[in-house]
Structure formats: C-alpha cells, structure tokens
Chain A
C-alpha cells in the first residue's frame, strides 16, 4: 500500500499491535470517564421507555394510569400474560411472523446485495437510468396503495396467505441504495479485478468478494428488514383475513378496544413482541466488527 497517510510514517511502518492499544493509549482517564458518563446518560434516555414498558407489563390498567405514575415493576406480569394468551394465539402468530420476517430478511439481503453490487461496481447500458428509476420509486408515496394492492392480491388469490406479505417486499430500493453506498467505499476495485483474472464471473465475485466486504451493511439491512417486517401492521391487517393465519402485530392489535382496553395485557403483548427483536439485533450486530477482508488486503 503506498497511499500517503497523514504523516508518511503511517500504518505501513507501524508494527501491528493489538487493536485495544489504539484507543487507550492517548486517552486520559478523565476523558474516558467523561465519555462513559455521556454514554451512560444516553443509555438511560434510550432505555427509559423500554424500562417503563416492563413496568407497565407487570401492572394493572389502574396502576399504569394511576397518579403519580408508578416507576417500579408491579406483580401482575403472569396475570397479564395469561390474559393476553387467552385472547391471542401467540404461538401461531409468532410462527407466522417469524416466517415472514426471516424470509423477507434473507430475500432482501440476497436481491439487494446483487443489485447493489452491480450498480456500484459495473457500468452496463442503462444502468444509470435504471438507478435513477430506483431512486424515484424510493420517493413514491406508499401510503395510498392499500386498495389497489388488495385488489391485486385478490386477483392473484393471495389474500390471506403469507406470500402476500413476503413476495412484494423481496427486493427494495432502500436496501439497494444502502448497500450501493456501502459498496462504493468498501470494495476495492483491485479485488474485483483480481477475481476476474482468476476467472470468476459476476456471481462468484459477488459471493466471494462483495458479500464478505459488505458484512456490516448486510447485517444492518437484515436486522432492519426483519424488524420492519416484524412490526408491520397496516398492510397485514388488511390482507390477512384468515384468523388462523395472523402475524403478531395484527393479533396483538385485537387487544385494543373502544370499550376499554386492558393495558396491562397490551403491554405484556408488546413486551413479548419486542424481546425477539433484541435477540435478532444481538445476533446480527456481531457482524459489525472490523472488516476482515479489507484488513487482509492491506497486509
């Protein structure tokens, strides 16, 4: 690597050290404390509503709306969960939601990374026009498509089926744009070039070069697609007409009633629906680690 780094005596000459040393070396203890203090304030602000969700899911409606508000968890969690389970077929709803969210996450990561890689690293006739179209669709208003989409699905015979939630969203402008921006900086052209010399075609290059380098972006896209699908509600509410085939949010929405809602129950349901998302984030975020392949190139 011959790039001029800030001082010419940069990384090339510096001996490899354990990563930790980089951050610690120059930071004064006071600076570290201040940083952590700021971070902890941020954590408290971030977690406060989640904590309150736990408090509410362990309380009765009366405790939730009592005044002054109760800030410590109550003792009604099991009761709330039991009531919720009596009204919602949780297992089947969880299963359906998992099918939809996982399928969407996988399909979106697959299709979007293929398209993003093609747009970012290859020029082919019409590529710019196609990409412009993609960005324009990104701006299109989406909120009015309920009726025509429903008509379309009923013509296809998909109303009530989970495919109505999966197939239309299997590739999206958001992910393609995101990964393209990542690919722009993350994939060195030399690697593609050398893959070509090795005789790799487009798809092999995508699999062996692009995918490893896009790990961070892909992990984000996968997590985000999963979460969006998991929480999606408006369209599933319209298109899922079979009570045996409901997603979690649609099933949970039935707990609200104009004639009085048991908020303890609603919050217990909300808590149950949020926990798997934290799990998915924990799994996915392990991929936000230093780009191994990029490091290898440097060596």
Chain B
C-alpha cells in the first residue's frame, strides 16, 4: 500500500500534533492525553474487528480450500491459486476489467469536474440541473436494465434502428467485443458522472468565492479558471474520487450483470465472447453458479492485490507530479500536515502556485 510508505518511520519529519506543542515535547506527552482522538476513530476499528475481520479471515482460509457452501471444507493448499494463474477466463476478466475501467473512469471524472464547475457558477436553474444529473444514480436498476437493453440491443435497439433509418450500418453493441465494453462504459459513465460531480460540488463549497472574483477581475477565462483554480483546489477530493473510482471500477459487477443477466444461466454472464466478464462477475459466477467458494475467494484475493497495485500507482503518480511542481516534496498525505500553518491559506496559495506553475509550463 502506498499509505504505508508515509507511515515508514523517518521518511519525513513527523509533524507536530496540530493543537499541541512541537515534536520534542509531544513525545513526552502521556498517551492518555490523546484519548479524544482515539475515541473519535475507535468506532470504525471496533466495528471492523467485530464484524469485518472474521469474514476476511474466513475468506483467506476459504481460498485454500474446495468448498461448495454446504459440505465440509476440503483443504487443497495453493491449488486454487495455481489454477487461477493459468485460467484463461480469469485473465480475460482482468483484461476486460482494466479496459472498461480506463475507458469509463477518465471521461467520467473529467465530465464530472466540468459539470461541477458549471453548476458551481451562478447559472439559472442550477438546483434543477443538480437533481437531474443525480437521478441516474438513484434510478432503479431493474428499469436501467430494461432501458439500456432496449437502447443498445443488436436487432431491435433504438440506436441501431436509428442507424438503419439513417442508412448506416448497425453496430453489434451487445455481441461484439468492443461494442460490449463501450456499452458497459457508457452505463458506468451514465450512472456515476452526476454522482462524482456532486462530490466535486460539495468540495467546491470550501473554495472561497473571492478567489474566482479575483481571477475574473484579472481577466481569466472560464477555461483558465477551470484548469488553474478549480482543479488544483480540488486535488484532495479528486484524489478521493480517483481512488474510489479505481476501487469501484476494478470491482465492476452491476452493469454487466444487469446488461446480460446472470439470472438465467452462468453461460450468459458477461455476454458473447466473455467480453463483458469482469473480475467480480467471474467471482460471482464461481461462487453462486458453480458453488466453488474456494476459487471465488482466490479470485477475490487476486483482485485485492490488483487493487492495491493500482491504488499504489495512483498515489505514486500524484506524488511524482507533486515533485515535478517543485514546491511539493512531501508525499500527498504528509504534505498537508507538514505544511501545517502555511496550509491554512491552503486554497489560495496552492491555487496560485499551481496556476503559476501551469503558466510556466505553458510558456516553456
């Protein structure tokens, strides 16, 4: 995990507890003086120990067994993992997941940012737009399934009917490799753009409005403001959405399941040619159609490793970009603390240095 890096002792100066005395003194402070902080973070860890840990340990154990859900557990050592590495369907699911993740996440987050930026301004009817863009996220999945299938179906879908009417060739949305992936990505983008925009919008509330005014007075265009103020100011929130979209994207399941339905048979999971078979969908098929809980657990742990690697790369890329920006040597999470008081004007100074940086980059 990328985070453990910041926890490694000695990599950076340990910042002082904000409201307390500097480092030297802090070390002498008795542990119990931190009780409010421990109490504050305790609920999550207690709940995890009681309700979360046992299932996790159980699924680790399961991945070393053959189990159909009812019979006695049969230990098989590393056999599930050995099968996993040479199971072509598993690797297909990994490739599918990564491709769909890339073609959905990037456009989605960019559109969401743009949407939040526009809705943050004082345009007419923004309350209405906000609700309208959020509705895909709450629209019932049973309805979404029928609608997307009606729109994208190969022979009788609305899009292909329109293409026929225009004299164009039909696109096999739900039976060709790329058609399926694009359709699933469209579904993801459709459902989650508004959702991410709302997160950004909530994040933008903390951005002082005078900063925008200042920029406008300076003659900055909307595009400049978007790239030089909005994006830099939202960095922590963007990081959050990037990480959650990564985790969400890598555990993509609902959309392909809804599109092709696993209700009827395991063979239809993921659609023709397994083009929409994602890792979690494959895991679901193994667990609830093949009743191979051992193998399903092994797939789950492989996904965990993959997610950790991708999350690590995410953090890594963001940190490297910080370095490139010159004034940010400390990794993301420490930077904020290390910069303690200087960061109190975080919004303004960050934005300014970032925009200056951008300007310089543009000039050079």
Give A contacts to B, CB under 8 Å.
1, 3-7, 9-12, 14, 17, 19-20, 22-27, 31-32, 35-36, 39, 42-43, 45-50, 52-53, 56, 64, 67-69, 111-112, 114-115, 117-125, 127-141, 143-145, 147-149, 152, 167-168, 170-174, 176-178, 181-182, 184-186, 188-190, 192-193, 196, 201-203, 205-206, 213, 215-217, 219-220, 223-224, 227, 231, 263, 266-267, 270-271, 273-274, 277-278, 281-282, 285, 288-291, 294-295, 298
Asked whether, in the complex, the Cβ of B144 is within 8 Å of the Cβ of A49, the reply is: yes
* CA–CA, A118 and B17, complex, Å: 10
Asked whether, in the complex, the Cβ of B146 is within 8 Å of the Cβ of A14, the reply is: no
Asked whether, in the complex, the Cβ of B206 is within 8 Å of the Cβ of A213, the reply is: yes
* CA–CA, A156 and B334, complex, Å: 41
Asked whether, in the complex, the Cβ of A185 is within 8 Å of the Cβ of B347, the reply is: yes
Q: Which 7 A-B pairs have the closest CB atoms?
A: A11-B210, A10-B214, A145-B55, A216-B202, A202-B36, A186-B206, A270-B140
* Chain B count of residues within 8 A CB distance of the other chain: 127
Asked whether, in the complex, the Cβ of A141 is within 8 Å of the Cβ of B300, the reply is: yes
Q: Is B76 an interface residue (CB 8 A)?
A: no
**Given known A-B contacts A42-B133, A213-B206, A202 and B40 have beta carbons under 8 A apart:** yes
* CA–CA, A22 and B233, complex, Å: 19
Asked whether, in the complex, the Cβ of A6 is within 8 Å of the Cβ of B40, the reply is: no
Asked whether, in the complex, the Cβ of B206 is within 8 Å of the Cβ of A152, the reply is: no
Find residues 43-66 in chain B having any chain A CB closer than 8 Å to their own CB.
43-45, 47-48, 50-52, 54-56, 58-59, 62
Contact pattern, B 277-296, Cβ under 8 Å of A = 1, otherwise 0: 00010011001000001001
Q: Is B71 an interface residue (CB 8 A)?
A: no
Closest residue on chain B to residue A230 by CB atoms: B138
Min CB distance A67 to B, Å, is 6
Closest residue on chain B to residue A178 by CB atoms: B240
Closest residue on chain A to residue B310 by CB atoms: A139
Asked whether, in the complex, the Cβ of A206 is within 8 Å of the Cβ of B40, the reply is: yes
Q: Is B211 an interface residue (CB 8 A)?
A: yes
| Chain B residues within an 8 Å CB radius of A167 | 47, 51
Find residues 310-355 in chain B having any chain A CB closer than 8 Å to their own CB.
311, 333, 336-337, 340-341, 343-349, 352, 355
**Given known A-B contacts A26-B216, A46-B194, A270-B140, A182 and B237 have beta carbons under 8 A apart:** yes
* CA–CA, A43 and B136, complex, Å: 10
| Chain B residues within an 8 Å CB radius of A267 | 140, 142-143
Asked whether, in the complex, the Cβ of B14 is within 8 Å of the Cβ of A278, the reply is: no
Asked whether, in the complex, the Cβ of A270 is within 8 Å of the Cβ of B143, the reply is: yes
Asked whether, in the complex, the Cβ of A49 is within 8 Å of the Cβ of B143, the reply is: yes
Min CB distance B221 to A, Å, is 8
| Chain A residues within an 8 Å CB radius of B17 | 122-124
**Given known A-B contacts A6-B352, A177-B240, A274-B140, A141 and B303 have beta carbons under 8 A apart:** yes
**Given known A-B contacts A39-B118, A123-B18, A267-B142, A145 and B348 have beta carbons under 8 A apart:** no
Q: Is B134 an interface residue (CB 8 A)?
A: yes
Of A144, A149, A185, the residue contacting B62 (CB under 8 A) is A144
Of A119, A138, A185, A217, the residue contacting B233 (CB under 8 A) is A185
| Chain A residues within an 8 Å CB radius of B148 | 49
* CA–CA, A130 and B42, complex, Å: 10
Min CB distance B224 to A, Å, is 10
**Given known A-B contacts A6-B352, A22-B212, A147 and B69 have beta carbons under 8 A apart:** yes
Min CB distance B232 to A, Å, is 10
**Given known A-B contacts A6-B214, A43-B129, A181-B237, A144 and B59 have beta carbons under 8 A apart:** yes
New A-B contacts (18) at CB < 8 Å, excluding given A112-B44, A125-B31, A219-B202: A3-B348, A7-B217, A25-B216, A27-B222, A49-B139, A115-B40, A117-B40, A143-B284, A144-B287, A148-B55, A171-B43, A188-B344, A217-B203, A278-B138, A281-B138, A282-B131, A285-B134, A291-B205
**Residue in B58, B208, B251 whose Cβ sees the most chain A Cβ within 10 Å:** B208
* CA–CA, A114 and B38, complex, Å: 10
* CA–CA, A12 and B348, complex, Å: 12
* CA–CA, A14 and B287, complex, Å: 63
A-B residue pairs in contact (CB < 8 Å), sample of 21: A1-B345, A7-B218, A19-B122, A24-B122, A35-B118, A42-B133, A43-B133, A50-B135, A52-B150, A64-B146, A111-B43, A114-B39, A122-B37, A140-B304, A145-B56, A152-B51, A168-B51, A202-B40, A205-B19, A227-B138, A285-B130
Min CB distance A136 to B, Å, is 6
Asked whether, in the complex, the Cβ of A11 is within 8 Å of the Cβ of B213, the reply is: yes
**Given known A-B contacts A48-B147, A144-B55, A227-B137, A203 and B36 have beta carbons under 8 A apart:** yes
* CA–CA, A20 and B213, complex, Å: 11
